[in-house]
Amino acid sequence: LLRVNLSDLASMGAVPIGYFLNLTLNDLTDTVWLDSFASGLRKDQDEFHVRLLGGDTTHAKRDLTLTATFVGEVETGLAITRGGAGAGDDVYVSGTIGDAALGLKYLISGDSKPEAVIRRFQLPDPRVSLGIRLRGIASAAADVSDGLVADLEHICRASKVSAAIAGAKVPVSDIIDSRLAAGDLELADILSGGDDYELVFTAPPNLEENIATAAQAASVRVTKIGKVLDGPEMVRVLDPSGGHISIKASGYSHF
DSSP 45-74: HHHHT-EEEEEEEEE-SS--EEEEEEEEE-
Q: How many CB atoms lie within 10 A of CB 80?
A: 26
* Phi and psi at residue 22, to the nearest 5°: -115, 125
pLDDT for 111 equals 75
222 closest CA partner among 153, 134, 140: 134
pLDDT for 39 equals 96
DSSP 122-166: HS----HHHHHHTTTT-SEEEESSS-HHHHHHHHHHHHT-EEEEE
Q: What is the mean pLDDT of each run of 10 residues along the chain (255 residues)?
A: 97 98 92 94 96 95 93 96 98 96 89 84 96 98 96 97 96 92 86 94 98 98 98 91 76 62
20 within 8 A of 53, measured Cβ to Cβ: yes
pLDDT for 186 equals 85
Amino acid at 121: F
pLDDT for 211 equals 98
170 within 8 A of 238, measured Cβ to Cβ: no
Question: CA 32 → CA 27, 43, 44, 76, 134, distances in Å?
Answer: 13, 17, 19, 44, 41
What three-state secondary structure class fits 18? Answer: strand
Q: What global pTM score does this model have?
A: 0.93
pLDDT for 17 equals 96
